Amino acid sequence: MRTRVGIIGGGPAGLLLARLLHLEGIDCVVLEARTRAYAEQRQRAGMLEQGTVEALRACGAGARLDAEGLVHHGIELRFDRTRHHIDFPSLAGRTVTIYAQTEIVKDLIALQLADGPPLLFEAEAYEIEKPDSGSPRILFRHEGREQTLECDWVVGADGFHGISRPAIPAQRTYGRDYPYSWLGILADVPPSCEELIYARGQDGFALHSMRSPAVSRLYLQVPNGTDPADWPDELIWDTLDARFATDDGWQLARGPITAKSVTPMRSYLTEPMRYGRLLLAGDSAHIVPPTGAKGLNLAISDVRLLGRAFAHLERTGSEQLLDSYSQLCLERVWQVTRFSFDMTTMLHAQPGGGAFEERLQHARLRRIAESPHAAAELAALYTGLPLGS
Ligand code: FAD
Ligand code: DHB
């Protein structure tokens, strides 16, 4: 098999890139290791920056997003048993939208299978040959056979545990593991809030998000190594109650919990995001802790830049934008890494942390609640930095 751009990974990054290339008339093939059902059900992100929404809309994946996505005008920061609204339109001139990653993946898969380039499920890439040559090859297993995809370019959109990042020699990596994780639940109960609540409770962090007017998504800080089986439903609701508690009588509605999972928290970056004709995009190149909801949005902005760079190559024959891709992405990625780190360390209880750290967190939260300048900085990063030139 032969193609212009071989894409490893059918997550949001790989699927959106395939769509962007298809719209430019650029031939590509997507290899996805998992089944379609698995890819469509993997519970993950839910908050989309305005630029992400616009990109999905522009490529024809906006119909259900516009009908079912929930537009939010701000978030609530909750600490000291008090609520503080951060208003995005007045502070940043933008909004965000709640629409689950599972739904984006379903929409993009449906588009691609309808009229797009080939998308192979259960096609696991195991080697990238000669990424530094003019004709790299992806070796993969599909339907019990070992096959080869001959490419002009390879895009590694295969997430954090994929094969693409390790195929780049002499990278520089940067990272940090955090001393806490998130226990995430889905519950069949209408959300108890109109906008997302980021709470610094007495003994740790909690986040109230949602998936629809009938389904709530909630997260709470737990120690690393936590087994969700050790958290009966009652204990989860009691802990959430304690962390969201206010003095104004606000109540958290409870309902049947339909999913529970634990996510560790990590910051990770690799530089550069390109080696020869292999380019990385999304989680294969960088991971941020989920506080502030940036991972999916970063993956989407990477492929928007990459789509632009391939379109430029196709129209002009110039590799100039492909040459600047890694640097342009990384400037943005570092800004977002900084934001995600700040949000995470501001809102979580530091195990073994002393009174000094706690008072500093409190001072940062108060500053955002009281200073429009500090709040505007949060709003600008939360709703999304411009894509860059
Ligand atoms: P992935 O989604 O990981 O996709 C990679 C794909 O490659 C997968 O389908 C995988 O099966 C496939 N693959 C891997 N190896 C191979 C191989 N060898 N051959 C072929 N295919 C392969 N981000 C946000 O922006 N907002 C949020 O609200 C948010 N919340 C989150 C909450 C949680 C609990 C978690 C865990 C993450 C959250 N994120 C959030 C992060 C977000 O989900 C990821 O950043 C996003 O999935 C990255 O997309 P991707 O396409 O780069 O990678
Ligand atoms: C969601 C996840 C996040 O990490 C976040 O900051 C906001 C929302 C979510 O899954 O809905």
39 lines ligand 1 (CB under 6 A): yes
For each of the chain's 389 residues, which pLDDT tens digit applies? 999 999 999 999 999 999 999 999 999 999 999 999 999 998 888 899 999 999 999 999 999 999 999 999 999 999 999 999 999 999 999 999 999 999 999 999 999 999 989 999 999 999 999 999 999 999 999 999 999 999 999 999 999 999 999 999 988 999 999 999 999 999 999 999 999 999 999 899 999 999 999 999 999 999 999 999 999 999 999 999 999 999 999 999 999 999 999 999 999 999 999 999 999 999 999 999 999 999 999 999 999 999 999 999 999 999 999 999 999 999 999 999 999 999 999 999 999 888 999 999 999 999 999 999 999 999 999 999 988 75
Tell me whether residue 97 is in a domain. Answer: yes
Quote the ligand 2 centre to 340 CA distance (angstroms). 12
pLDDT (0 to 100) of residue 210: 95
Type of residue found at 386 = P
Tell me whether residue 53 is in a domain. Answer: yes
What is the secondary structure of 212-247 as a DSSP string? ETTEEEEEEEE-TT--GGGS-HHHHHHHHHHHH--S
Entry pTM: 0.95
Q: How far is CA 350 from the centre of its chain?
A: 24
Helix or strand run (H / E) with residue 336? helix 320-347
Token digits of residue 97: 């939208």
Quote the ligand 1 centre to 67 CA distance (angstroms). 24
Give counts: helices (H), strands (E), the chain. 11, 19
Q: ipTM value of the model?
A: 0.95
Q: Which of 22, 208, 286, 294 is catalytic?
A: 294
Q: CA gyration radius for the chain?
A: 21
- 294 noted as active-site residue: yes
Q: How far is CA 308 from the centre of its chain?
A: 20
pLDDT (0 to 100) of residue 44: 83
Tell me whether residue 227 is in a domain. Answer: no
pLDDT (0 to 100) of residue 170: 84
Tell me whether residue 101 is in a domain. Answer: yes
Tell me whether residue 364 is in a domain. Answer: yes
Tally the domains of the chain.
1
289 lines ligand 1 (CB under 6 A): no
209 lines ligand 2 (CB under 6 A): yes
Q: Residue 172 class from Cβ within 10 Å (0-12 exposed, 13-18 middle, 19+ buried)?
A: exposed
Tell me whether residue 189 is in a domain. Answer: no
Tell me whether residue 103 is in a domain. Answer: yes
- 264 noted as active-site residue: no
Tell me whether residue 259 is in a domain. Answer: no
pLDDT (0 to 100) of residue 353: 84
Q: What is the DSSP letter of 80?
A: T
Quote the ligand 2 centre to 195 CA distance (angstroms). 12
Q: Which of 99, 198, 268, 325 is catalytic?
A: 198
Q: Helix or strand or coil: residue 266?
A: strand
pLDDT (0 to 100) of residue 43: 80
pLDDT (0 to 100) of residue 168: 95
Q: How far apart are CA 377 and CA 339, in angstroms?
A: 10
**Residues 15-52: b if buried by 16+ CB within 10 A, e if exposed:** bbbbbbbbebebebbbbbbbebeebeeebbbbbbbbbb
In terms of residue numbers, what domain contains 293? 2-175+265-383
pLDDT (0 to 100) of residue 45: 84
Type of residue found at 366 = R
Quote the ligand 1 centre to 337 CA distance (angstroms). 16
Q: Which of 12, 22, 72, 348 is catalytic?
A: 72
28-31 and 119-120 strand pairing: parallel
Q: With both helix axes pointing from N to C terminus, report the angle between 320-347 and 355-370 in degrees, rounded to the nearest 10.
A: 110
The CATH number for 116's domain is: 3.50.50.60
- 268 noted as active-site residue: no
